């Protein structure tokens, strides 16, 4: 059998991902025209740029979510984050999209902050560190603009008491070989990591309604386990909507990752740093000389500035068309597209920082005092 030259797991994405193949490998569905139509009926023809451009490209049971919504049974959203020192632009993707879904469908959102997962996965990290990162990451997530009365953000180490009875029921239904096979663990893996999937699964059962999870497709293995056991506990199989990965700056392979700092743009990077990183490290599909570029144009398939603009930073379809045609024909040079991108990234980050300055004031509301947060602290999930 021919080996694929890419790999996607919850911890690692390498190679040039073939998303068509991934849909087959994982057994998910493409987002069909009819699903797009159903969403646009609710969103009154406003379509999120990441849906229009097929960045959110795959799903499980999204049709059932829309049916439940139409027929009045409703649904809820769930997503999460394993906190690290700084969030990069790729991490914003699922949160921006989840906020849009919340606005369109007016539904509850649960955001799990897995300070335990991060701690257990890396021998060097202390719980004090992951808890501090959790706090900082939550400020970034709040800045995305969720509805404070319909959003509950929780840290695993804090909220575990309320979740534990249901975590135990889930853990009892997962055996070693299932978890080992799903996540590629072995007998030397610490038992915390082996147990952890039960904790990531539990929020899919925070309500009796169906749960929709927006995330990059790397998280899918967790939901496969969830879908095997949910009905035996009286819950729905989780529905999912999956995004592609924002590529790292230095290559169009893999995903942007915090562990390669020059290849990521962090939400805290000041404008000069952003400009420098993009001008210096962004992998270009442009030709080696101006003359050749004018003659042959750029290879958009590998050009990272182009892909970032397409993915998230240039929402205007007309402007994107212009960039596509001018850059691929050679009218536009690499330096020019990089400048356009640096400006767009800095605009988004400036807005983000302004909102983040207000986040601390909203912190308690999202974690403890908002309408949904209060309800959740009163509830023991069993």
Q: How far is the CB of 357 from ligand TYM (least distance, A)?
A: 23
Cα distance between residue 353 and residue 357, in whole Å? 6
- State which H helix or E strand residue 212 sits in: strand 210-216
- Candidates 48, 59, 60, 81: give the one binding ligand TYM (CB under 6 A): 81
156-172 helix and 191-201 helix, angle to the nearest 10 degrees: 90
- Residue 65 as a binder of ligand TYM (CB under 6 A): the answer is no
Q: How far is the CB of 189 from ligand TYM (least distance, A)?
A: 15
**Residue count at the site for ligand TYM (CB under 6 A)?**
24
Closer CB to ligand TYM, residue 93 or residue 139?
A: 93
Site string for ligand TYM, 222-261 (x = CB under 6 A): ---------------------x-xx--------xx-----
Closer CB to ligand TYM, residue 91 or residue 352?
A: 91
Q: How far is the CB of 288 from ligand TYM (least distance, A)?
A: 28
- Residue 98 as a binder of ligand TYM (CB under 6 A): the answer is no
Stretch in the footprint of ligand TYM (CB under 6 A) among 74-82, 159-167, 274-282, 344-352: 74-82
- Residue 91 as a binder of ligand TYM (CB under 6 A): the answer is yes
Q: Between the CA of residue 91 and those of 82, 230, 258, what are the distances in Å? A: 10, 27, 10
Output the six-digit token pair for 338: 């990089």
- Candidates 35, 60, 90, 293: give the one binding ligand TYM (CB under 6 A): 90
Output the six-digit token pair for 18: 């073939």
Classify strands 56-60 and 29-30 as parallel, antiparallel or unpaired.
antiparallel
Cα distance between residue 61 and residue 29, in whole Å? 8
- State which H helix or E strand residue 178 sits in: helix 176-183
Output the six-digit token pair for 14: 């390498």
- State which H helix or E strand residue 226 sits in: helix 220-229
Stretch in the footprint of ligand TYM (CB under 6 A) among 36-44, 91-99, 179-187, 265-273: 91-99
Closer CB to ligand TYM, residue 258 or residue 328?
A: 258
Q: What is the CA radius of gyration of the chain?
A: 21
CA 224 to chain centre: 17
- Candidates 61, 115, 116, 117: give the one binding ligand TYM (CB under 6 A): 117
Q: How far is the CB of 89 from ligand TYM (least distance, A)?
A: 8
Q: How far is the CB of 181 from ligand TYM (least distance, A)?
A: 18
Closer CB to ligand TYM, residue 140 or residue 275?
A: 140
Residue with tokens 């029921």: 169
Dihedral (C-alpha) 360, 92, 66, 232: value to the nearest 10 degrees? -80
Site string for ligand TYM, 4-43 (x = CB under 6 A): ------x---------------------------------
Cα distance between residue 6 and residue 272, in whole Å? 34
Count Cα neighbours of 114 within 13 Å in the Cβ-side half-sphere: 19
The residues that touch ligand TYM, with contacts defined as CB under 6 A, are 10, 78-82, 90-91, 93-94, 112, 114, 117, 200, 213, 215-216, 218-219, 243, 245-246, 255-256
């Amino acid at each position: 059998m021919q080996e694929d030259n890419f790999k996607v797991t919850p911890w690692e994405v390498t190679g040039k991902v073939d998303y068509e193949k991934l849909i087959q490998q994982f057994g998910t569905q493409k987002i069909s025209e009819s699903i797009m139509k159903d969403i646009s009926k609710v969103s009154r023809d406003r379509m999120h740029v990441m849906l229009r451009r097929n960045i959110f490209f795959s799903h499980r049971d999204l049709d059932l979510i829309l049916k439940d919504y139409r027929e009045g049974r409703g649904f809820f959203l769930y997503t999460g984050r394993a906190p690290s020192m700084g969030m990069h632009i790729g991490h914003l993707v699922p949160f921006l999209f989840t906020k849009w879904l919340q606005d369109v469908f007016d539904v509850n959102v649960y955001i799990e902050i897995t300070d335990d997962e991060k701690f257990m996965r890396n021998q060097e990290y202390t719980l004090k560190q992951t808890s501090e990162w959790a706090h900082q990451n939550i400020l970034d997530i709040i800045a995305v603009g969720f509805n404070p009365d319909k959003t509950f953000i929780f840290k695993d180490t804090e909220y575990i008491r309320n979740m534990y009875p249901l975590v135990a029921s889930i853990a009892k239904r997962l055996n070693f070989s299932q978890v080992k096979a799903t996540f590629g663990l072995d007998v030397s893996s610490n038992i915390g990591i082996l147990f952890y999937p039960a904790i990531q699964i539990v929020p899919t059962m925070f309500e009796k309604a169906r749960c929709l999870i927006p995330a990059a497709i790397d998280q899918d293995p967790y939901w496969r386990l969830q879908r095997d056991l949910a009905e035996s506990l009286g819950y729905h199989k989780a529905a999912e909507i999956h995004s592609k990965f924002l590529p790292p700056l230095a290559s169009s392979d893999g995903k942007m990752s915090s562990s390669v700092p020059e290849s990521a743009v962090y939400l805290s990077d000041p404008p000069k740093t952003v400009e420098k990183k993009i001008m210096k490290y962004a992998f270009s599909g442009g030709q080696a000389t101006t003359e050749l570029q004018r003659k042959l144009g750029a290879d958009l398939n590998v050009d990272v500035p182009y892909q970032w603009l397409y993915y998230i930073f240039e929402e205007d379809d007309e402007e994107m068309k212009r960039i596509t045609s001018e850059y691929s024909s050679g009218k536009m040079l690499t330096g020019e597209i990089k400048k356009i991108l640096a400006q767009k990234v800095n605009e988004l980050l400036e807005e983000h920082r302004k909102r983040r300055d207000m986040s601390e004031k909203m912190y308690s509301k999202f974690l403890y005092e908002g309408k949904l947060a209060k309800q959740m602290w009163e509830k023991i999930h069993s």
